[in-house]
Structure 1
Amino acid sequence: MAAKKVLRRFALSPARDIPMLIFLWRWKFAPTAVLWKRFFSKTAPHTAYNRLWSLGKSGILQRRVNKTGKHSVWTLTRLGFHVIQKYLPPLKSDNIESENLIHDLLVNAFHLGSGSTPLPESIELISEQELRAVDEDFLPKWIPNPKIENDGLYYHRPDGYWRVRHRGEQIAIALEIELSRQSIARYDEIIEFYRDHQEIVRILWAVKNLRLAKYLDHRIRETDKNENDAHNFLAVDDLILKGWKAKIIYGPEVGKTPASILGPSPDANSDDHLSSCFLDTRKQPYKSNAYSNPNSAGIFV
């Protein structure tokens, strides 16, 4: 009822506003820079910000900052979620919150390449939010379904999936962001999940450092004696600076880049990676240069 009242007095553009709100649901949040370049590319940046501010004032969006106040993103409110719910697939959960803003910023930046422009249609994406919220019967059939798991199989929810064409066939690649070391039991569950699901051909990990990459590789080989070299590791620092052009630091495909595995992102030739991606979390990027280089500012890792 509240959503209908808002829509009666506040018009939403079906060509821009609705797709943008669905994007925010799918990825949990987005900075001003991403929304401007993705949905307002033909307008001035201040026009985009003014529209976002209006959507915030209407109660559809809200601005969220992290504890330090250095990262600003836009998220749906409960009202905003109800406005677009009819456009979404059947859901098992109405959770729209990010549990860890920094972690999810890095997930989105890795998953989407830059986030400012859509990826080629040849790359299929399933976000962590979709895995968390969409009824399993309405997810693609190539994704492991927890409804069919039994005592002999483990279920784990990665930070997302890519599905790409490789050597003439479609393959599934899982995404994992690991900023701190977890318990051995937790890692063993993750490793056993991938052992049980050989249809996930590759797992791309972004980890804090080489030491953690080597530790994870050791756990993988200890837990799964038949491990088929599916796991590759990148450094989060490299990912922040270079995006899909960062090189794998450990694993069977060391030296390769995500772009060589997933395909080049639309911004692969851009030298302006940071200012056009999910890691540009300035409230009004066209006004402020603060934190335009998150890695050198030391505010991500």
Structure 2
Amino acid sequence: MSGREAAAVRAFRTRLGLPGLVDVHTHFMPERVLKKVWAYFDAIGPMTGVEWPITYRHEEERRVALLREFGVRSFTSMLYPHKAGMAAWLNGWAAGFAERTPGCLHTATFFPEEGAESYVRQEVERGARVFKAHLQVGAYDPNDALLDPVWGLLADAGIPVVTHCGSGPQPGRHTGPEPIGRLLGRHPRLRLIVAHMGMPEHTDFLDLAASYDGVMLDTTMAFTDFSESMSPFPAGERARLLDLADRVLLGTDFPNIPYPYVHQLHALERLELGDEWLRAVCHDNGARLFGLPDSP
């Protein structure tokens, strides 16, 4: 299966003339944490009525090898705390993972707690390239006063933050566009990557991207058969994806996806927004954002 899929991904890249893919939304985390994440997805079927099988339930080494087979030249290790006291430990693990894994962009995270500014500053100083904020799992308001210096620090450093702030697959206390709109009103220079195209509040998050130059969106799970069946992207908004062509980034949620990796690429292709748009989304925008060399 992986050989055929790798060939399909390679055919996609070859047709577009891409040196590789830049995937801003992939998950690597300590094994015991990842197994709890997988257990959550195993249980979400009975809660939502939609099964969520994990396609790439493999050991870490195999998961990294698969991304290489797919031609992913740069990827992230998205990880996130659900309570105080976890973030600094997760950051230590992620720094080590990035150091031993060529192609992984050093990823870090945070939580509204005493000391957050200190450990975020430490991660910035040791080279973090991207942060993850998960408002649904963390169940926190991004406008929590404990995070204000963190957002200011990241805005000053120009480091992007992939933020799960939409209300899919289940609404949280602080999901939706309103809390993020207030945050951007106070920190308009933030480089905020809205995960999952802001699903299901696509239009509202497109509006925020149109209003703030630093707001980007990742494609994670958007446009796929799985997501379209539950939270379809509004057909009337498709033209806006062209208007924001330089601020849409490839994301997949690998390995926690209920379909093959290549399906995300084909889902983008069938939008029929053109090869130039696909090249920008699947490689060029991410390469520019993270200052990658022209060729691997």
- TM-score (ref. length: structure 2): 0.33
Structure with a larger share of its residues in strand: 1
Structure with a larger share of its residues in helix: 2
Q: Which has the larger radius of gyration?
A: 1
